[in-house]
Every structure is written in C-alpha cells, then in structure tokens.
Structure 1
C-alpha cells in the first residue's frame, strides 16, 4: 500500500465523510439504526477536531476520526470498506493519541461498536464498563473503554511481544481482520445541518 497521510478534515469534506460512514459495512443489519439519518456536518467539523486518512497519491478519504476534547471522547472512527485490514484504523488511533498527548489530554473515553472492542483493546484501550441499550435506536449494549495516554505512549514506543494471531490481525492478514473494523458510536443526538 502507498503511504498514508493524515490531515485535518475541513467543512468541504462533510458530505464525503457522511457517505463513508453511511456506507460502512460494520453498521449494516442490526446496527444500522444508530446511523439512520446521521450526518457529519460542516458545523460538526468546525467544533470537533476531525482528521482524514488518505493515500499520498490520492485525495480519496480512506478513513477518519473525530475527537471531542471536553470531556475527551473518541466520537467517530470509520475506515472505508475497501481500506479495511490495511492498518488505517491503527494509524488513525496513533494519530489521535499523539494529538491528545500534545494537548495535555490524560485519557480518552471510547464507547465502542461491539464488534470493534477487540480492535480498541489491541490499540491499548482498557475496558471500564458497558453502556446499556437505549431503544429504539440502540438496542444493544456497547463496551465502554478508555485510552490512558501515558499507557498508550509506552505501548506505541515499546510494543509488547505479539502472538502470531495478534501480529497477523494487526497487519491485516488475519482472516478475521476485515470483521474487526473500527467504528465507534455516533453521538446520542445526531448533528443535523
């Protein structure tokens, strides 16, 4: 794969980010209701630090994340279906942790899409609880995790030895890597234009 560049999202990217999010295979079937009519708006992008991953040879968005800074929470993280398993999610998380560290943020809350919990724990997050279902829109429990910035700095500078399965999953060669796509929750009250 070509080199990936991570750059701030601008209001002009709102429609593209919404389309990428709405197209996410991770949110089909039983999970589709949480994204119903949700949009990433220009106003949202102005309020929350949001970053896009793109190949250096293209301006097509491969994935993006958005961080709410007060209180710190990873609000959105999506990787394009065609970029699953390429390490884009890991690059976005590493970028987010670097940004947080530079801003003096001590920890970041994550309310995870259930199938993505393993991805976040591999990236250094620690499970701290479960968010109960909130029907009718969210009919499932969601894992709550936290990145402690000091812990993740040590993890990224001195990664722990990995099993063969962990290394394959992180590199995208593990058969289940495509099913462990990072895709956290949108806010409880969707932004509208």
Structure 2
C-alpha cells in the first residue's frame, strides 16, 4: 500500500520537479512490470490484458524503453518505442503520478527519439480509456483494431502521432558588407 497525502491522492513527495527521463536498463525490468501490474486502468474487464504480463530484460535491450524517475529513484512512468514498424508499444504512468504532466513529457520525449531515428509517424493502439489522452497530445484516430479474445475482449482505437522532421536551418539573407574597410 502506498502512503497518500490526504486530499491529493498522491504519495508524499511526488511532483514533476526533479523527474528525469532516462533509458531503461535490464535491471529495471521488474520495476516496469510492477508498474504495469499495479495500474488501475487495467482493473475489471481490462485485467486479462495484463494478467501475467512481464517486461523482460531482453525486451528492454531490444527496444527503445525510457522511464521517468523521481529524484529518489522511484519509477513514475515509462514508454517503449518500436522502430520497425514505428509503434508506441507500451506507455504507463503510475496511478499516483497521473495529472503531473508526466504522460505529456514522455510523449514529447518519444517524439524526439522517433525524430532522431528518422521516423515521421508512430502508431498507437490505445487502451480504450486512454484514447482521450492520446488525442490531447495531438494523436489522430485512424481506425479501430478489433478484439482478439481471450486476452483482448474489446476493440481498441488505432491512432497515429505525427513526428515533425528535424528543423533545418534556413539560409538567411546575405549579411550586409561594407565597401569601406
């Protein structure tokens, strides 16, 4: 059980200040798995999707997995970007850290990673309750992925997050040169 501050719904000491985003390592696998399994977004009818789900060290070493960590080392969220084809495979923010802007920060970080890899758009197959979040960060709905029983019993929104290409400096006007020395 996580200690909570009365009236805030957040464990003591969680704020966006001081949160860092770093590449996950194989040693983070158990903590990322724990974050997924403790997500209240996957309770009730959505529970079968994460039942027994595990983020393994091999997954972290194979894909671009980044986590948001509090100054004390607590994992507050993470995402996994697959490049071939480009897809946001996993994204979770700890229940206690929701509403702090960490999801937006992770999406912004993911877009920078995708841009650096030359990716122009990233597919997202969203957990139905998370669709509003993705639309709020600029994703566009492009379709629906049909249910795949027994693990996924519901249709899921399919979205695309566009990634603007890296800005290239435009040549400006020629500097004025004096004819006099």
Q: Does 1:44 align with 2:59?
A: yes
Provide the residue aligned with 2:129 in structure 1.
115
Q: Which runs of 5+ in 1 are unaligned?
A: 155-193
Equivalence for 2:98: 84
Instruction: Name the one with the larger helix percent.
Output: 1
TM-score by length of 2: 0.81
DSSP 3-state at the match of 2:129? helix
Higher relative CO (Cα under 8 Å, sequence separation at least 6) belongs to 1
Give the TM-score normalised by the residue count of structure 1: 0.76
After the TM superposition, which segments of 4 or more aligned residues of structure 1 sit over 4 Å from their partners?
Answer: none
Larger radius of gyration: 2
Superposition deviation, residue 150 in structure 1: 2.0
Distance 1:54 1:13 in 2: 11
Partners of 1:145 and 1:8 lie apart in 2 by 25
Secondary structure class of the residue paired with 2:69:
strand
The 5 A counterparts of 1:92-171 are 92-150=106-164
Q: RMSD in angstroms over aligned alpha carbons?
A: 1.4
**Offset at 1:3?**
2.3
Whole-Å Cα distance in 1 between the matches of residues 152 and 60 of structure 2?
24
**How many pairs align?**
152
Deviations 1:8-55 (A, max 9, x none): 000000000000100000000000101111100000001010001012
SS in 1 for 2:47: helix
